[in-house]
Structure 1
Amino acid sequence: MSIEKDSNPSAFTPNDHLANERTYLAWLRTGIGIMAFGFVVVKFSLFVKQLGFVLQTQVATPSHAYSAIIGIFLVVLGMLAILFAFLQYRRTDKQLKTGRYKPTTLLTTILTGVILVISILLIAYLLLSV
């Protein structure tokens, strides 16, 4: 089912375009936030080691490199979120210009599912490393 504003393809308003841009910018911020979190996860073990040198004490760090894998995955996920947000923005813009807008929740559903899986894995990792 599509929502048709008018039979005139130029019937979309500037507010429609601006709302599409705001949504895109919100997705950009989300992607950048996910990437920043991934960067922090990767660099955290390095920070703990450096903290041990500064305090001149032995700080126990996990011997496996799961933080690097998780962090890199989060950076890739952020990059994909930005890419898919751009594609969604372009698709919505085209639909608005032709007057045949059809909403979709695919991007939101996929990102929510992936973030939930990552959250569960991070919780398990933290519980096992205590």
Structure 2
Amino acid sequence: MNSITTQGIEVSVETFYQPDYSNPMSGEYMFAYRITIENHNSFPVKLHRRHWFIFDSNGEHREVEGEGVVGVQPVLYPGDRYQYVSGCNLRSEMGRMSGTYQMENLDSRKNFSVDIPAFEMIVPFKNN
């Protein structure tokens, strides 16, 4: 698991290869990732946007931006934890993702950026 803390917000990531949704013969590899966001601040925060950088080992680079995560813009009060699962498809057996969340301090109404730690997606047989 990869974790990073930015401005009192801890983001942790776990990845899982999805063989049932992959088709290696066609160059399609599906991965799921579980994100855990924890608010270690003394104020509530709201997650407004996400911005992902996706790198496929075949040289393909993509960016994905949008509101919230999995269709919601969660509010985390001090000590709260929010977890969600999403996925990423690759055209090769290995890739990497990293990114940022745009969050708002709900007390001060100021926006700030939170880093999402870089994580690798690797088909298990490539690790042998």
Q: Which has the higher helix share?
A: 1
Structure number with higher relative contact order (C-alpha < 8 Å, ≥ 6 residues apart) = 1
Q: Which has the higher strand share?
A: 2
Q: TM-score range by the shorter chain?
A: under 0.3
Could you tell me the TM-score, scaled by structure 2's length?
Answer: 0.22
Could you tell me the TM-score, scaled by structure 1's length?
Answer: 0.22
